[in-house]
Amino acid sequence: MKRKISVILLLSLVFITMYGDGAKKVIAYVLKVRGNVTVQNGENWDKITSGYKVINGDVIKVGKKGLAVVKFIDKGDIVAIKENSTIKIQGKIKNGRIAKRLFLKVGDIVASIKKGKEGAFSIATPVATASIKGTEFGMRFVNDSLSLMMYKGVVVLFNNQGSVLVHKGESAFCFKGRMPVVKSGGVVKNNELEIEFMDARDVKRKITIDYEGK
């Protein structure tokens, strides 16, 4: 009897692991890595390299002079995580598509997001959340202040104080406890994802990715 109960419990555990809502799912992979890039594993931070499979709920930290480029497996959305940044990556898979919700705890990212249902891709910070409608943009969150630079498309930036639409060529800013504000002009971008970073010798380098390519 005990053996039968043990077998049932084991099969139940396997079923939950494979099909349950809490199952760990691969939602993206790391396309490129520069410098020290780690993923949180309990109380530890394990170093990762190019090709690392990003699991739902992973928290990735990029150190000084580092860079990590993450590509999602469904539509090919790309998020470049720049130095001194920490971000949590979450995604729920449904009908072959991933509803993505990222949380930028601190730092700087550049992203190229393909068109999709509103709300299918969002990036939250402690002061405001960006709802993505298919666009390319840069976002920075440091010292309780958020800045957003729009290169293509449109983003809804909102918090408890209100919301704004940010279009191509505009920038938006948000401070803790305040409504986001939009500023026109001053943002120029071509059709490539270009990321600048400092290498180990303090030399400025660039990685350019054609976001319409493979």
Could you read off the pLDDT of 120-170 as tens digits, one per residue? 899 999 999 999 877 889 999 999 999 999 988 899 999 999 999 999 999
Give, in order, the Cα–Cα distances in Å from 147 to each of 15, 132, 138, 150, 172: 44, 15, 8, 10, 6
Place of tokens 């293509």: 152
Residue 14 CB: number of other CB atoms within 10 A? 10
Q: Could you tell me the CATH number of the domain that includes residue 144?
A: 2.60.120.1440
- Categorize the per-residue pLDDT at 114 as very low, low, confident or very high, splitting at 50, 70 and 90: confident
Would 110 be classed as within a structural domain? yes
CA distance linking residue 167 with residue 137, whole number of Å? 10
Would 28 be classed as within a structural domain? yes
pLDDT at 96: 81
- Total domain count, the chain: 1
Residue 65 CB: number of other CB atoms within 10 A? 19
Would 214 be classed as within a structural domain? no
Average pLDDT of the chain, as a whole number: 83
Show the domain range for 134: 2-209
Would 130 be classed as within a structural domain? yes
Would 21 be classed as within a structural domain? yes
Would 36 be classed as within a structural domain? yes
Would 197 be classed as within a structural domain? yes
Contact 212, 191 (CB under 8 A): yes
CA distance linking residue 102 with residue 122, whole number of Å? 6
CA distance linking residue 203 with residue 94, whole number of Å? 43
- 28 φ/ψ angles, rounded to the nearest 5 degrees: -165, 175
Would 104 be classed as within a structural domain? yes
Contact 205, 83 (CB under 8 A): no
Which of 9-18, 75-84, 134-143 has the least mean pLDDT?
9-18
- Categorize the per-residue pLDDT at 14 as very low, low, confident or very high, splitting at 50, 70 and 90: very low
Tokens of 167: 């279009």
Report the run of H or E that residue 5 belongs to, with start and end. helix 2-19
pTM: 0.81
- 168 φ/ψ angles, rounded to the nearest 5 degrees: -50, 135
